[in-house]
């Protein structure tokens, strides 16, 4: 009997349950204890785990292993090493020991390091992250490789990857939150974990059309193109019937994701034509960051088989919805309490953590915006259902009332849940959620978690979650200091006898005071209205909220004195590691901008201008032929003059772009180049596009240089 696809879930993942069967009980117990307590592993235990991993991997048919790491390129990296090796006798053996498992070596100078690694000092290390499971990945020919998640640092121990800061930040939050809960009586809590659920938006495009457009191939977005005849405003595509070709792609995608232990739960059409979304189930932040990167790679691989290409760019089409990642974030104890769920946590405990998140966002919204900054996201944010660039927090009317009432009465006055009444007996009356949804807000409370909607579709979620864990952990650290002072001053003895304690009566007063302080001092960041409204921009300015509109502005925030202190004192990133990131982010921004500008220039010189010139010559030739027969058409002659004038404008703008690009070489610093890209090159590119987009709708099919928006969004195989 054939097994169903769901039976194969995590078939290619070495879960703890599988590892348990391959190890001695005492060794496995030691391993689990290390995972639960963030302990340091001995080489002896690593050898035993490596033996078990090798046995499992070879049985699955793996021939190689790789240390899988996440440099600051925005992509992951890997180097495949065969299990085969000579022994001392010259015989072939299959070797994989603790040393192979724990540490690998690579060339750090070949990855972004902000100048920290030069060619003559290249050594870097990859080190096993045992909090994320090892897995096997197979290619189209069923060749299999064992993947070991690792952190990446230089020879001097400088973190030049995305994983290390995330691990440090979540451990910092874990330590502070656990300490706080222990202080107020939850002594059975030994850890607090950041959980993330990631919604991934993307476009599918016909592969043949994709390769006909150099801008899509080289930059991921269309640099030229007028809007399609048909608009997305009718919302026909959103949650509409999934076309057969797309459904087949999704079916095969799920099959591969499930084998890799990625809990792909939901799939549907998004608002824009050919846009879709896939949603994975919650897990701890580090694992979800790994899995989301893997998911994107698998999507590309499966799409290729189905004659599709996946577009992860934040704004592949002008005037059409962009794509993001919705980062759903919560924190939970090892005892199963979601600290952001008012129905699960003690009222004061919930309010303490809830308002700590609010204060964290208010104090560090510049860093939160920085964590989502990129050239592509600059184009996406601010319209077409993407959040605006001004950070605010939506909590809903009910939670706003609860916060306001708490300041007045020091009590949590929960409202009775209302029911939905369709006024027909054949439909049940379920309870409504305790807050609405606001698609214009960057950071929204949704009942038991916060949804951060700013992350770009192509970005790793690691940086955003590093920032979230750091800033929230820092607020809890402040609470710990105040509580510790209060406990010592008042000589309070905490109740440690019960696993679900009532809050110590002596602490209620100080907890209440701290919650009121959070609400009173940080309510300016809360906004429940339409964040697209121009009135909100004015209101935000009145509240003292700064609108960091562009990536270059945001990157500069990394090296502000208070932000350096935040990361350094909490052990998340050193000043050197922050400088590495600052330089790397600027370099990436500059590189992407220059690639776009050069691609646009090349398309204009080799495709656009020749096609428009041919069209103009064709019209002139037709008019000339007509005049030979005594036929004159003033309207046609007028069209030719207009087209000629527009072609001159386009040629002029292309020449300007060429001149602008030549000036980049004269600029010395990264900051100068980034600002020049932002203020001058992008402006010039937009001017070129503006002129061409006026011409394109009038070009007959035989004179079109490449597939237009109608072809890409409506008339392709999708």
Supply the pLDDT for residue 499. Answer: 44
Supply the pLDDT for residue 497. Answer: 46
Distance CA 336, CA 16 (A): 19
Supply the pLDDT for residue 281. Answer: 83
Task: Indicate the CATH number for domain 169-573.
Answer: 3.30.590.10
Q: How large is the average pLDDT for residues 199-221?
A: 96
Query: Dmax of the chain from CA atoms?
Result: 108
Supply the pLDDT for residue 429. Answer: 65
- The string of pLDDT tens digits covering residues 240-262 is 788 889 899 999 999 999 999 99
By the 8 A CB rule, do 112 and 83 touch?
no
Provide the 8-state DSSP code for 77: B
- The string of pLDDT tens digits covering residues 45-56 is 999 999 999 999
Q: How large is the average pLDDT for residues 69-85?
A: 88
Supply the pLDDT for residue 343. Answer: 83
Supply the pLDDT for residue 116. Answer: 67
Whole-number percent of the chain with pLDDT over 90? 64
Supply the pLDDT for residue 228. Answer: 87
CATH class, domain 5-160, is alpha beta
Check pLDDT > 70 for residue 631.
Answer: no
Check pLDDT > 90 for residue 180.
Answer: yes
Both tokens of 120, joined, read 């003559």
Distance CA 676, CA 684 (A): 11
Q: How large is the average pLDDT for residues 189-209?
A: 95
Of 49-58, 139-148, 178-187, 377-386, where does mean pLDDT reach its minimum?
Answer: 377-386
pLDDT band (50, 70, 90) for residue 336: very high
Q: How large is the average pLDDT for residues 420-442?
A: 69
| 443 vs 86, more confident | 443
- The string of pLDDT tens digits covering residues 640-673 is 888 899 999 999 999 999 999 999 999 999 999 9
pLDDT band (50, 70, 90) for residue 89: low
| 600 vs 236, more confident | 600
Distance CA 215, CA 218 (A): 5
Q: Which of 371, 527, 378, 383 is nearest to 452 (CA)?
A: 371
Check pLDDT > 50 for residue 342.
Answer: yes
- The string of pLDDT tens digits covering residues 107-117 is 777 777 777 65
| 282 vs 548, more confident | 548
Strand 62-68 relative to strand 443-445, pairing = unpaired
Supply the pLDDT for residue 718. Answer: 46
Check pLDDT > 70 for residue 682.
Answer: yes
Supply the pLDDT for residue 432. Answer: 62
Q: Which of 328, 226, 221, 246 is nearest to 595 (CA)?
A: 221
- The string of pLDDT tens digits covering residues 522-544 is 999 999 988 888 888 899 999 99
Check pLDDT > 50 for residue 498.
Answer: no
pLDDT band (50, 70, 90) for residue 238: confident
**Domain ranges in the chain?**
5-160, 169-573, 588-713
* pTM over the 0.85 mark: yes
Instruction: Identify the three-state secondary structure at position 691.
Output: helix
Strand 103-107 relative to strand 123-128, pairing = antiparallel
Supply the pLDDT for residue 416. Answer: 64
Supply the pLDDT for residue 3. Answer: 61
Supply the pLDDT for residue 202. Answer: 96
pLDDT band (50, 70, 90) for residue 15: very high
Whole-number percent of the chain with pLDDT over 70? 88
By the 8 A CB rule, do 714 and 243 touch?
no
Check pLDDT > 60 for residue 717.
Answer: no
- The string of pLDDT tens digits covering residues 556-570 is 999 999 999 999 999
Supply the pLDDT for residue 493. Answer: 64
In this structure, which topology does domain 588-713 adopt according to CATH?
Answer: 1.20.120
């Amino acid at each position: 009997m054939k097994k169903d696809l769901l039976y194969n879930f995590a078939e290619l993942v070495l879960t703890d349950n599988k590892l348990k069967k391959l190890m001695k009980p005492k060794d496995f117990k030691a391993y689990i204890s290390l995972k639960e307590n963030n302990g340091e592993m001995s080489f002896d235990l690593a050898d035993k785990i490596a033996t078990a991993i090798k046995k499992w991997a070879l049985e699955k048919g793996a021939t190689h292993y790789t240390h899988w790491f996440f440099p600051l390129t925005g992509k992951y990296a890997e180097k495949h090493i065969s299990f085969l090796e000579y022994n001392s006798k010259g015989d072939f053996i299959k070797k994989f020991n603790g040393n192979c498992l724990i540490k690998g070596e690579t060339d750090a100078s070949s990855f972004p390091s902000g100048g920290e690694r030069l060619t003559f000092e290249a050594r870097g290390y990859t080190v096993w992250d045992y909090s994320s499971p090892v897995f096997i990945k197979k290619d189209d020919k069923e060749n299999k490789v064992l993947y070991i998640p690792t952190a990446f640092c230089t020879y001097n121990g400088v973190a030049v990857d995305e994983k290390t800061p995330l691990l440090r930040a979540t451990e910092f939050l874990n330590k502070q939150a656990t300490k706080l809960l222990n202080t107020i009586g939850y002594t059975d809590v030994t850890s607090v974990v950041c959980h993330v659920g990631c919604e991934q938006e993307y476009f599918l495009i016909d592969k043949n059309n994709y390769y006909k457009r150099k801008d899509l191939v080289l930059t991921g977005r269309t640099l030229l193109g007028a809007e399609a005849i048909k608009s997305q405003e009718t919302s026909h595509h959103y949650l509409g019937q999934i076309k057969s070709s797309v459904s087949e792609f999704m079916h095969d995608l799920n099959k591969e994701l499930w084998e890799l232990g990625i809990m792909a739960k939901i799939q549907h059409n998004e608002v824009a034509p050919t846009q879709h979304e896939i949603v994975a189930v919650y897990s701890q932040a580090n694992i979800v960051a790994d899995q989301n990167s893997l998911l994107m790679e698998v999507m590309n691989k499966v799409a290729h088989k189905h004659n599709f290409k996946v577009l992860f760019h934040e704004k592949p089409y002008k005037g059409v919805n962009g794509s993001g990642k919705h980062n759903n974030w919560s924190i939970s104890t090892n005892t199963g309490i979601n600290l952001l769920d008012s129905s699960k946590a003690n009222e004061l405990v919930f309010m303490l953590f809830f308002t700590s998140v609010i204060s964290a966002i208010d104090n560090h919204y510049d860093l939160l915006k920085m964590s989502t900054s990129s050239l592509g996201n600059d184009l996406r944010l601010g319209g077409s259902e993407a959040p605006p660039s001004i950070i605010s927090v939506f909590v809903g009317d009910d939670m706003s009332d609860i916060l306001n009432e708490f300041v007045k009465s020091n009590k949590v006055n929960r409202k009775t849940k209302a029911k939905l009444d369709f006024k027909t007996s054949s439909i049940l009356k379920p309870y409504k959620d305790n807050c609405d949804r606001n698609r214009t807000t960057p950071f929204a409370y949704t009942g038991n978690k916060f949804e951060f909607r700013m992350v770009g579709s192509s970005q790793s979620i690691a940086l955003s979650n590093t920032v979230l864990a750091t800033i929230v952990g820092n607020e809890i650290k402040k609470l710990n200091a105040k509580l510790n002072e209060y406990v010592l001053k008042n000589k309070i003895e905490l109740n440690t006898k019960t696993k679900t304690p009532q809050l110590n009566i002596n602490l209620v007063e100080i907890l209440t005071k701290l919650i009121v302080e959070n609400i009173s001092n940080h309510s300016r960041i809360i906004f429940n209205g339409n964040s697209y409204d121009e009135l909100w921009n004015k209101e935000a300015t009145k509240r003292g909220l700064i609108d960091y509109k562009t990536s270059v502005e945001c990157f500069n925030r990394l090296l502000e004195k208070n932000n350096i202190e935040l990361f350094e004192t909490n052990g998340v990133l050193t000043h050197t590691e922050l400088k590495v990131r600052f330089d790397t982010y600027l370099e990436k921004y500059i590189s992407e901008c220059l690639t776009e500008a050069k691609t646009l220039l090349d398309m204009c010189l080799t495709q656009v201008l020749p096609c428009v010139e041919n069209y103009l010559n064709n019209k002139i030739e037709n008019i000339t032929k007509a005049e030979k027969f005594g036929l004159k058409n003033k309207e046609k002659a007028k069209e030719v003059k207009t087209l000629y004038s527009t072609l001159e404008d386009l040629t002029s703008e292309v020449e300007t772009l060429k001149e602008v690009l030549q000036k980049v070489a004269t600029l010395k610093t990264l900051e100068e180049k980034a600002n020049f890209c932002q203020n001058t090159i992008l402006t010039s590119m937009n001017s070129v596009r503006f002129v061409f987009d006026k011409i394109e709708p009038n070009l007959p099919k035989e004179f079109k240089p490449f597939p237009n928006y109608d072809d890409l969004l409506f008339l392709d195989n999708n």
